[in-house]
C-alpha cells in the first residue's frame, strides 16, 4: 500500500495532547472528595469503573481520528478489478477417453459442469470462446462477450475419436484478436504486429496426443503469439481401463506434455482427480484470468471506517454512562 499524501500523517502528533488530556482528567477525577454513607458499595463501584472497559469509548474515538488522518493521506491499494482486455479461450478435449467414469458421472460431464462455472465467474465484459479437439480441432464459439452462448455450447458437447492436443491449442490461438493464421500451413506464422490484447488459453485434456501438430511446437507458436496457456490434466498418469461398448481400452494421462505446454508459455499446470477438484481449479482460474489487480485510491473506504468507529465510540460511551448510573 502506498500513500499519495503521506505528510498528512504528521497531524497524528496532534492526538498526543488529546490523549494526555484524557489521562490527566482521569487522574484529577480520582482526587475529588466524595461524601457517601455506603463506603463499601462505593468502593465496589469504583473498582468496576476502573476496568479496562471504561477506556473503550475513548480508544475507539481515538482510532476514528487516526482513520480520518489515514484517509487524508490518500492511501492507494492494489484491488482486484474486472479485466475486459484479455481474451480467454477454453480448449476442451472431447476424445472418447473422456467417457471414463473415474469422475462422476463421467469425465466429459464433469468437465462440462466445471467449464460452465468457469465462464460464470468471468467478468461479463470479458471475451471468451470455446474450442474442442479430438482427431481435429473445431472453433465452436469465437471470442464473444455473450457468455450465455458459450455456456449453451458447452452443454451440447459430445465425444469423438482420437486426441489432437496441439491442434486444439493452435485453434484457440488463431481465434484471438491480432493473431493471424498463415494461409500456407507450411509457412511459419509471423509474430503479432503492434500491441495485441492479452491472450489466455485454458486447455483441458485427459489423454495422450496422437494426431496433428506436436504439442511442443504448438506451445512455441503460442508463446510467439503472446498467449499464456493454463493446462488442466484429468485422470490417472498411470492409466485406467475404459470400457467402450464391451471393448476395453487402456487410457493414460500425459502429464509431461501438459506441464511442458504450460512451462513454455509461462502458464501453469493443474492435475485433478475428482469432479470437485476440477470445479475448484476452474473457479480459481476464472479469478486468475478474469481479474487484475490495479492500484486504486481507497480514501473513501478509510473514511467509511472512520465514520463507523466514530459511531461505535458514541454508542459505547452512551452504554457506559447508562451502566455507571
Residues 209, 93: Cα–Cα separation, whole Å:
10
Per-residue pLDDT at 212: 95
Residue ranges of the chain with per-residue pLDDT less than 70: 29-54, 320-325
Residues 200, 19: Cα–Cα separation, whole Å:
55
Chosen CATH of 83-183+190-273 out of 3.30.70.100, 3.40.50.410, 3.30.70.580, 3.40.50.720: 3.40.50.410
Per-residue pLDDT at 256: 96
Q: What distance lies between CA 129 and its chain's CA centroid? A: 20
Per-residue pLDDT at 224: 96
Residue where the block lists cell 492479452: 198
Residues 172, 128: Cα–Cα separation, whole Å:
10
Q: 300 by DSSP, 3-state: which?
A: helix
Domain boundaries, the chain: 2-78+303-324, 83-183+190-273
Q: 227 by DSSP, 3-state: which?
A: strand
Taking a C-beta distance cutoff of 8 angstroms, is the pair 159, 93 a contact?
Answer: no
The model's pLDDT over 130-168, given as tens digits with 9 standing for 90+, comes to: 999 999 999 999 999 999 999 999 999 999 989 999 999
Per-residue pLDDT at 94: 97
Residues 238, 242: Cα–Cα separation, whole Å:
13
- Global pTM exceeds 0.85: no
Query: C-alpha distances in angstroms, 34 versus 28, 38, 39, 46, 253?
Result: 13, 11, 10, 12, 85
Helices (H), 32-146: 39-49, 56-72, 107-121
Per-residue pLDDT at 215: 97
Amino acid at each position: 500500500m502506498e500513500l499519495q499524501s503521506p505528510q498528512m500523517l504528521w497531524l497524528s502528533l496532534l492526538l498526543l495532547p488529546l490523549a494526555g488530556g484524557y489521562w490527566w482528567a482521569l487522574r484529577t477525577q480520582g482526587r475529588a472528595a466524595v461524601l457517601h454513607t455506603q463506603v463499601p458499595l462505593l468502593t465496589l463501584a469504583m473498582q468496576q469503573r476502573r476496568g479496562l472497559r471504561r477506556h473503550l469509548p475513548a480508544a475507539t474515538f481515538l482510532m476514528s481520528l487516526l482513520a480520518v488522518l489515514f484517509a487524508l493521506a490518500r492511501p492507494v491499494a492494489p484491488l482486484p478489478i474486472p479485466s475486459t482486455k484479455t481474451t480467454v479461450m477454453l480448449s476442451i478435449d472431447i476424445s472418447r477417453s473422456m467417457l471414463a467414469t473415474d469422475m462422476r458421472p463421467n469425465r466429459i460431464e464433469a468437465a462440462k459442469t466445471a467449464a460452465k462455472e468457469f465462464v460464470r465467474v468471468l467478468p461479463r465484459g470479458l471475451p471468451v470462446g470455446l474450442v474442442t479437439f479430438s482427431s481435429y480441432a473445431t472453433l465452436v464459439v469465437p471470442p464473444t462477450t455473450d457468455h450465455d452462448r458459450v455456456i449453451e455450447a458447452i452443454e451440447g458437447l459430445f465425444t469423438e475419436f482420437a486426441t489432437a492436443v496441439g491442434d486444439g491449442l493452435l485453434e484457440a490461438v488463431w481465434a484471438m484478436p491480432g493473431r493471424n493464421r498463415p494461409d500456407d500451413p507450411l509457412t511459419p506464422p509471423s509474430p503479432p504486429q503492434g500491441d495485441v490484447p492479452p491472450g489466455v488459453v485454458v486447455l483441458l485434456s485427459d489423454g495422450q496426443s496422437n494426431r496433428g501438430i506436436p504439442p511442443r511446437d504448438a506451445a512455441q507458436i503460442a508463446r510467439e503469439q503472446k498467449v499464456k496457456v493454463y493446462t488442466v490434466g484429468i485422470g490417472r498418469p498411470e492409466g485406467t481401463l475404459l470400457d467402450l461398448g464391451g471393448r476395453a481400452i487402456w487410457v493414460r494421462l500425459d502429464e509431461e506434455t501438459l506441464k511442458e505446454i504450460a512451462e513454455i508459455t509461462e502458464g501453469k499446470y493443474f492435475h485433478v482427480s475428482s469432479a470437485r477438484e476440477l470445479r475448484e481449479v476452474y473457479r480459481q482460474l476464472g479469478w486468475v484470468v478474469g481479474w487484475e489487480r490495479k492500484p486504486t485510491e481507497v480514501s473513501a473506504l478509510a473514511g467509511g471506517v472512520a465514520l463507523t468507529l466514530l459511531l461505535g465510540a458514541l454508542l459505547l460511551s452512551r452504554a457506559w454512562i447508562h451502566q455507571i448510573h
